Each structure stands twice: as structure tokens, then as C-alpha cells.
Amino acid sequence: MQPDASSYRADALIAEDIGAYLDRHQHKSLLRFITCGSVDDGKSTLIGRLLYDSKMIFEDQLAALVADSKRVGTQGQEIDFALLVDGLAAEREQGITIDVAYRFFATDKRKFIVADTPGHEQYTRNMVTGASTADLAVILIDARKGVLTQTRRHSYLVHLIGIRNVVLAVNKMDLVGYSQARYDEIVADYRAFATGLGIADFVAMPISGFKGDNITAASPNMPWYRGPSLIEHLETVALDEEALARAPLRMAVQWVNRPDLDFRGFSGFINSGCVAVGDAVRVLPSGRTSTVSRIVTLDGDLPRAVAGLSVTLCLADEVDCSRGDVITAAAVPLEVADQFEATLVWMADEPMLPGRPYLLKIGATTVAATVTAEKYQVNVNTLEHVAGKTLGLNAIGVCNLALDRAVPFAPYAENHDLGGFIVIDRMSHATVGAGMLHFALRRSHNIHWQALEIGREQLAAQKHQRARIVWFTGLSGAGKSTIANLVAKQLYALGKHCFLLDGDNVRHGLNKDLGFTDVDRVENIRRVGEVAKLMTDAGLIVLTAFISPFRSEREMVRRMVAEGEFIEVHVDTPLALAEQRDVKGLYRKARAGQLKNFTGVDSRYEPPPVPEIRLDTTTLTPEEAAALVVARVLGDG
Ligand code: ADP
């Protein structure tokens, strides 16, 4: 789609369908912004001032805030303002660890939602959450202090999240005698830093939130400043949506209406561009093309629709299209890939572990994903790149990601909806991270799985067996190796082809580069899983005897193979008993502090909640335990 054609359409929309235009205009008149700064920078005072001066603070909201501040004041404008600010600060302090406080106000030109987020480093994730929907960021600086570490950190995050409108509000000008020299110095300082960061432009203004200078109108105290007041700027700044409307069409399909609803339509939110009846479109990832036959909304059919609207598109041809697919302009499709470089912001206490399977939600799709490599972490205070393997709470890193299937995407810088994602823990379903895709890795396009002519079924049939992974898990000394060896012997005696992968034999070779930290344990099991999977592809019954302490990785291996092929065997021996056996003397060493990260001592073991087989070694002999496993392996094959 030519940019000219789409800008013509925006105008045409006004001419032909004023209702739709007004609809959009109403949507456009909401500005979401975030204020960055710490309590000391006067953030609460500024927000209080905006609410107060816009006269949009609701009576009950004010009463509640004032009650919160636990101060009783006399009536009168100045007192009310002070109480309001105290109330905001008190509320912020109480809610500080919860999340982001969103406050609403309006002028006759625009509506505003301001996300008030805590400024300290330990609340980086809150700031990212608050900023993720913002059109603009106000970065507050205390005129007495100038550009600080936190100014740099906040600016970096704002830039990372892709907020293009940045206001540098040099606050507390009343406390530096409204000095133009001081203001110029701070702006120059900030400009040097911002340019290095890639912030192309920002609007600087000298203000006093406390006194109200340059908040709603030009301040008589600073005649040397000729720019707009803060409110004037917020009311008139151009929104990103206009640029989005001119970009090529992208609509992530949220759901598909079934043919039994008398028409087959694809519903979603138009992320960018516009679409008209008769336009050629392409459905990704399949790449099939068609033309738009109808644009349906709750208020009836439209001849055309623009970014920001939710619509249902009907296509002229029967094309496959499901939830998570993206409908694009036919001539300007999106890239489809399964490996990316991305920036990841970690939001969970439990660190990100490369190789661990997570869920990734991008657009309207959720896919399985792993971090294949961490390239570097960013020190958010100095912006230095530092080497790292994991990401802790609030850490930010640049990583390579691998998804389990290819998805259509746009680089985050182009389209936040199709390039931004969240990371979800597979077990708890909690959001543990958020990120931005940079680009697809070239290898993503070049590796194609070799279709084998002699497949795993043939190889297993040749051996008169079904391929299996029999996964023993349990504490050190639980009896995994002992029982697995007995199982291997019995299977061999029965003419079965099996192979025992044991912790020690793998750690001496394939995994000799790995230690016992959480990161290395995850990678250890990931590799073992891949090897076991390859062996099942050869038609073997694979027995593995690894502590494999974490549920996530065992579940990952389970998902690598077909349903029923993975048999999880929990060798359930109480810690006290395993420690008492202490065949290899390892518990003694661990207790003496000579062995770090020992499972059961100073590293976790997560028992499987529903293993296929649970062996209680306090009641079963090794032989009895082995017989149970053999029966299961043969019985259901
Ligand atoms: P792991 O492989 O789980 O680290 P090992 O098999 O190397 O454990 O060690 C388990 C030890 O416990 C062996 O010395 C084994 O003889 C002993 N043991 C005692 N009772 C049992 C039982 N019921 N099942 C398995 N092992 C047992």
C-alpha cells in the first residue's frame, strides 16, 4: 500500500463518513503519559498540580486522598493543594509495591491518563508496565540536582519501551531563582546524554510544580522561556496513532467467527494502517492472499476502517486463518520467523534461565519459547553492557530466543503490538517478563528439518518395540541408577533394545562444561532431553537417571515426544534416608560446606505431582521397583 493512498483515505474518511471520523477523533483525544522521577523530584507535587489546575479532581477522590494523608487542614486553595499532594504521596507509598497508580484528568481539549510509577531501581518492572501503554513521558529533574543516575535510568527505559514523545521537565525552578543559566546547563547536559542513547528529540521546559510556573500558562517568573506550558504541550502533542494509521495494514486475528454464524469473518483490532472493501490482503504465516469482501462492526458494515478500530473482516476466498494469524496488506507482508534477538525485562523473583521452556505471548498468539543465549545484560544505571547467563528481578538483557513455531512479527520499533511480547511461566502462569523483538536471526530462515525416509516408527518396529523415554528422577542416592540398571538388564534379557543415560556418563562427556548452578542444571537436562529424544527417534527405549530437580525441564522433555512416550518415574526416597545411605559420601561433603548447590541441602528438588510411576523405596526392594517399571514399559507398548 502506498503511503499516499492511505493518507488520502484518512481525508476521505472525514469527507465520506464523519461519524467514523469522530469516533476515531474521540479515541485520539486521550493522551496516556507517564511521569518519571523520584519522590524528591516533586513527582507527586506535579501530578497534584496537574489534577488540581485542570479542576478535574473529583470531590470524593480529593476527600479520600486528604483522609489518607491523615492531616486535617483549613479550607482554602493553597491548603487544599498541599493536602492533595500529601494524599497522593501517601497513597503512592502505600501502593508502592503493588503496581502502577493510574490517574485520570481532562481539559476541554484532551483527556489524560497519567501512570504514576515508583522511581527506585527495584521498581523497574512497575515502570515498564506503566510505560508500556504511554504515548509520552515526562522526565522530571530537580533543578538543584541536575541530571542524576535515575534520570538516565528512566530515560533509558522510556527509550527502550519506544515512547517517542519525551518532555524534560526541569522542576523546582523557584528554588534556583528561576535561573536561565542553570536551566540551560541542565538541558545541555541532558541533550548530550539523550543523543548518545538514541533519543532523537525531546521538549524541555522549566517549571515549578509547587508554585505552578509553566504548568497551565506561561510563567511571569521566567519570561526568557518562550515555549508552551506543560498542559499546553500535553494538549497539542501529536500522537503516534497518526503515524500508525499511515503504516501498512496489520491486524492480529483475535477470533474467527464460525461459518454457522452465517458468515466467516476474522475479528481483531487493526494494529496499523487502514483497510477498505476490495483491498488485497495476505494472511500470515500461511501467506495466502485474498480480497476483503466486507468490514463488519457492531454498528453495521463500513466501507473502510483505520488503525485503532476493532472490526471483523470477511474475505472473498476460503482461506485458512486462525486466532493469532495476522492479516496484512498483500503487497507489504510481515516477516515470519521462529528465532529472534530481543530485549528482555525480567519481572519475577525467580531468575530467567536459558534453556528453560516458557510461554511467549505476542500479538494474539501464545507459543512455547526458550532463551537460547544471553548476549549481555544492561546495567540500567551506567548503561554498560555486562556479561551474564541469567536475568534476575528487574534486570534487562539482550537475548536470542527460539520459539517452537514461526510467527508473524514486526520489529518492536515499528509496531509495539506485533513486536512486543510478555513471557509467562508454564507452571504458575504468572507473567515473568516482557520484551521487545529486534529482528529475526538469519539461521531462523535457513535450517529445515531433514525429512527422514526411514522414520522412527520403522526403526522401532524393526526392534519389535515402541520407543520410550523412561525418566527416573529423585534425590541423590534415592536409587535411580540402581533401579534403572536393573530395568536395563531385564529389558535386555527380554530382547529389547535399550540404553541407559546416566548422570555420570553424560557429565564426563557431552556436559562436562556444566556445573551445578540452576542455569547449568537446566541446560544439563535440556541436552539430556535432546539426546534421549534422538535415541527414541532411532527406536530405542531410553532410560535416564538424573536428579533432574526442576519440574519445568522434565515437562519440557515430556513435550518433546509423543503423548504416552514419556514415562516419568519418581524414585521417592525421603531426604533423611538418602542422606543416611550416602553411597558416594556426597551428603557429608555438602553438609560440611565442601559441595555447593547440592540437591536437598542447598538446592531445591521439585517432586513430580503426578508421575507415571512412583517408587517408594522405603517399602520396595530395588528388584520389586524394577519389575514395576518393566511391566509398565512392556505393558502399554
Ligand atoms: P541415585 O542414582 O539416585 O543417586 P544410587 O542408585 O546411586 O542413587 O544409590 C542408591 C543406593 O541406595 C544404592 O547403594 C542402593 O543399593 C541403595 N538402596 C537401598 N534400598 C534401595 C531401594 N529400595 N531402592 C533403590 N536403592 C536402594
Going by C-beta distance under 8 Å and a sequence separation of 6 or more, which residues neighbour residue 629? 470, 483, 487, 567, 569, 613, 615
Helix (H, G, I), strand (E, B) or coil at 480: helix
pLDDT at 37 over 70: yes
Nearest Cα residue to atom 10 of ligand 1: 479
Residue found under cell 540402581: 482
Overall average pLDDT of the 477-491 stretch = 95
What pLDDT, on a 0 to 100 scale, did the predictor assign at position 504? 74
Question: Which of the residue ranges 110-119, 151-160, 181-190 would you say has the lowest mean pLDDT?
Answer: 110-119
What pLDDT, on a 0 to 100 scale, did the predictor assign at position 479? 95
Residue among 307, 315, 380, 297 at smallest CA distance from 343: 380
Would you say the CB of residue 477 lies under 6 angstroms from ligand 1? yes
What pLDDT, on a 0 to 100 scale, did the predictor assign at position 225? 97
Helix (H, G, I), strand (E, B) or coil at 276: strand
pLDDT at 448 over 50: no
C-alpha cell at 516: 551445578
Nearest Cα residue to atom 6 of ligand 1: 479
What pLDDT, on a 0 to 100 scale, did the predictor assign at position 75? 40
Q: How far apart are CA 413 and CA 404, in angstroms?
A: 24
Rg (CA), the chain: 30
Contact 569, 471 (CB under 8 A): yes
Q: How far apart are CA 625 and CA 619, in angstroms?
A: 9
Phi, psi of 506 (to 5 degrees): -75, -40
Q: Name the band, by pLDDT with cuts 50, 70 and 90, for residue 26.
A: low
Nearest Cα residue to atom 25 of ligand 1: 479
Q: How far apart are CA 589 and CA 158, in angstroms?
A: 49
What pLDDT, on a 0 to 100 scale, did the predictor assign at position 637? 43
Q: Name the band, by pLDDT with cuts 50, 70 and 90, for residue 583.
A: confident
Ligand 1 centre to CA of 94 (Å) is 53
Q: Name the band, by pLDDT with cuts 50, 70 and 90, for residue 7.
A: very low
User: Between vectors from CA 265 to CA 263 and to CA 268, what angle results, nearest 5°?
Assistant: 155
Would you say the CB of residue 435 lies under 6 angstroms from ligand 1? no
Nearest Cα residue to atom 12 of ligand 1: 479
Contact 70, 48 (CB under 8 A): no
Would you say the CB of residue 570 lies under 6 angstroms from ligand 1? no
Could you say which DSSP state residue 594 is in? S
**Residues forming the active site:** 548
Contact 104, 113 (CB under 8 A): yes
Q: How far apart are CA 447 and CA 436, in angstroms?
A: 24
What pLDDT, on a 0 to 100 scale, did the predictor assign at position 266? 94
Q: Name the band, by pLDDT with cuts 50, 70 and 90, for residue 69.
A: very low
290 forms beta bridges with: 281
Q: How far apart are CA 260 and CA 283, in angstroms?
A: 22
Overall average pLDDT of the 191-209 stretch = 91
Would you say the CB of residue 599 lies under 6 angstroms from ligand 1? no
What pLDDT, on a 0 to 100 scale, did the predictor assign at position 196? 84
Nearest Cα residue to atom 27 of ligand 1: 479
Would you say the CB of residue 581 lies under 6 angstroms from ligand 1? yes
Considering the chain, what percentage of its residues have pLDDT values greater than 90? 53
Helix (H, G, I), strand (E, B) or coil at 570: strand
pLDDT at 393 over 50: yes
C-alpha cell at 567: 514415562
Higher local confidence (pLDDT), 354 or 444:
354
Residue 624 CA: nearest ligand 1 atom is 23
Would you say the CB of residue 585 lies under 6 angstroms from ligand 1? no
Residue 581 CA: nearest ligand 1 atom is 12
What pLDDT, on a 0 to 100 scale, did the predictor assign at position 199? 86
Q: Give the tens place of pLDDT for each residue, 329-343.
A: 998 888 899 999 999
Nearest Cα residue to atom 26 of ligand 1: 479
Q: How far apart are CA 369 and CA 344, in angstroms?
A: 13
Could you say which DSSP state residue 158 is in? H
Tell the burial category of 332 from Cβ atoms under 10 Å away from its Cβ (0-12, 13-18, 19+): middle
Ligand 1 centre to CA of 607 (Å) is 18
Contact 422, 318 (CB under 8 A): no
Phi, psi of 491 (to 5 degrees): -65, -40
For ligand 1, mutation pick of 482, 501, 572, 621 (most atoms within 8 Å of CB): 482
Residue found under cell 520489529: 411
Residue 472 CA: nearest ligand 1 atom is 3
Q: How far apart are CA 313 and CA 266, in angstroms?
A: 5
Would you say the CB of residue 545 lies under 6 angstroms from ligand 1? yes
Overall average pLDDT of the 273-280 stretch = 95
Q: How far apart are CA 202 and CA 195, in angstroms?
A: 10
Would you say the CB of residue 480 lies under 6 angstroms from ligand 1? yes
pLDDT at 400 over 50: yes
Ligand 1 centre to CA of 515 (Å) is 23
Would you say the CB of residue 182 lies under 6 angstroms from ligand 1? no
What pLDDT, on a 0 to 100 scale, did the predictor assign at position 150? 85
pLDDT at 73 over 80: no
